[in-house]
Structure 1
């Protein structure tokens, strides 16, 4: 039975617990409707539990385990412990007032990922932004928002970056389109500092940084920005994250993930090498 790896956040623990409950239910040939009736809940609640989209009550999980004939304490204990861990609040939940509900699951998945691959077309990725660059982007996208709201959103973005420097950090592999480096967000001074920041962090052992140059012409990822998350838990599939103006999409079907992986692999081959990327960045920063 799979358990959460050290460092896994509550989001992944909920997904793990839900997947285990779904496996146990299916092994017994029990429908979601029947399982829901047993704990005085709806079929849709069982579905949300199994997808890890809601919090869990320990009593509900204990009742479901009994219903699924999991009576051995050695089997029950890890799952019930997972309930308590899954209900632990992540740091980002202190910012619920300024974070869109559709973005909060991503922060939890990002915290738990072992490998993050991202391609950005328009902006420097959030995990690599300076505070001033982040503030400029957030201010532009939050017209009319109070200053305190903007500052709390900036705090979330900067707090997310701490995972790169923690013990056992994830590996971050970034391909940035040259357009994002030449778009003067916040003005020349902010952009110069942002690109210098990229040059300074490029040597990080857990960071692979590449640039998709204009000179290459058309490329595999013209459909837009995307992120692929991989987790240390073998039971969890890779997840593709796509963000829109008012929402987001999470893809975990094998055929969808494979397609994005193919695109990312082509991007990484066609972009600057990690070794040559700092020189490319230095040429660009000198133009600001």
Structure 2
């Protein structure tokens, strides 16, 4: 997966729809909780306000930011007191605040834009990869080779845009308040000759260097581990502040998925814990990466 969201050939249509943010998800979850606490159905709310059911659904699922007058109408219907109203109004005001990537939204696929905004607000990124080096740990040459190989009909400009975006995203790991990255990589990804010997050698040496970063933990699942829970495919778990639920992202040929159901979060969290347990320790992984770097020399 290696976070190539929207990298299918049909993803080049630009979009200007505002992507959801963590704050928007938080506001949506709180409005859903308040409606249920008031004992109201969506139809009840539609009868009491000028907010139709379709709009309410989009608000409660974080697909759209409510206008201030809409928010006030909902809070009136739910009988929300002043202190709580002030907090929710402030959340509505900030709901559109975005992540840190300085690439115009219209130039990137919608799913990629959604992901990079979530990623920029995460406090921890848990990434398991089967056949790629994780995107946040790729060199520019490796990233270019991967994107070119996956998107065979992409133009040079399309490829360069995605390479630039990926390199910018890596700045998150240098920020003092940026997320921590825990990457678990199947050993197969270390032996796939992406971009040729020199590109792969530079990539392996880069991984060895990154393994020394205190904000990054890297583990390799060795071939000797046999079958493991990650074999069905790669996935990323984004963890936020305790009040915001986690998100699981899965990229596949069938489409891009953002999973938020509790059962899915538990299943993928358990799989990641198992993968960490069967993988080489961070110290042994670092030694392996140094050895592979030297071997490629």
Could you state the TM-score of these two structures normalised by the residue count of structure 2?
Answer: 0.86
In the superposition, relative to structure 1, how do residues 34 and 94 fare at CA in structure 2: closer, same or farther (>3 Å)? Answer: farther
1:140 maps to 149
Q: CA deviation at 1:252?
A: 2.5
- Aligned to 2:110, the other structure's residue is in SS state coil
**Is contact 1:10-1:88 (8 Å) kept?**
no
* Contact residue 95 and residue 156 of structure 1 kept, 8 A: no
> Does 2:66 correspond to 1:66?
no
Q: What is the Cα deviation at residue 202 of structure 1?
A: 0.8
Match of 1:185 among 185, 188, 194: 194
Please tell me whether the aligned partners of residues 111 and 163 of structure 1 are also in contact (alpha carbons under 8 angstroms). yes
Contact 2:49 2:77 in 1 (8 A): no
Tell me the SS of whatever aligns to 2:282: coil
Distance change >3 Å, CA 31–CA 21, structure 1 → 2: same
* Cα deviation code 1:34-88 (max 9, x no counterpart): 324555343232122112122331221122112222241x222221111121123
Query: Is the alpha carbon distance of 1:78 and 1:164 closer, same or farther for their aligned partners in structure 2, counting shifts above 3 Å?
Result: same
Corresponding residue to 2:268 among 245, 254, 260: 260
Please tell me whether the aligned partners of residues 199 and 281 of structure 1 are also in contact (alpha carbons under 8 angstroms): yes
Gaps of 5+ in 2: 1-18
Shift of 1:194: 0.8
User: How has the CA–CA distance of structure 1 residues 80 and 203 changed in structure 2, closer, same or farther, with 3 Å as cutoff?
Assistant: same
What is the Cα deviation at residue 92 of structure 1?
4.4
SS in 1 for 2:178: coil
TM-score by length of 1: 0.89
Question: 1:187: how far off?
Answer: 0.8
Identify which range, 199-208 or 54-63, moves more after superposition: 54-63
Contact 1:115–1:170, Cα closer than 8 Å, also in 2: yes
Question: In the alignment, which residue of structure 1 is the partner of 2:9?
Answer: none
Shift in Å at residue 239 of structure 1?
2.1
What RMSD in Å do the two structures reach over aligned CA positions? 2.0
Correspondence for 2:30 among 20, 24, 33: 20
Residues 1:221 and 2:226 are matched in the alignment: no
After TM superposition, the structure 1 stretch with the greater mean CA deviation from structure 2, 193-202 or 105-114, is: 105-114
- 1:283: which partner in 2? 291
What 5-or-longer segments of structure 1 have no aligned partner?
1-8
Q: Where do residues 132-171 of structure 1 align in structure 2 (5 Å cutoff)? A: 132-171=141-180
Tell whether the 8 Å contact from 2:21 to 2:98 is kept in structure 1 after alignment. Answer: no
2:98·2:117 contact (CA, 8 Å) conserved in 1? no
SS at 1:87 equivalent: coil
* Whole-angstrom CA distance in 2 between matches of 1:37 and 1:151: 51
Deviation at 1:93, TM superposition (A): 7.8
- Kindly indicate whether the alpha-carbon contact (under 8 Å) linking 1:36 and 1:45 is maintained by their aligned counterparts in 2: no
The structure showing larger relative contact order (alpha-carbon pairs under 8 Å, at least 6 residues apart) is 2
Deviation at 1:246, TM superposition (A): 5.4
2:7 corresponds to = none
Q: Tell me if structure 2 keeps the 8 A contact 1:102–1:247.
A: no
Q: How many residues align?
A: 278
Question: C-alpha separation between the residues in 2 aligned to 1:93 and 1:33?
Answer: 41
SS at match of 1:243: strand
CA contact (8 A) 1:98 1:153 kept: no
The residue that corresponds to 1:174 in the other structure is 183
Q: Choose 276-285 or 126-135, whichever is displaced more.
A: 276-285
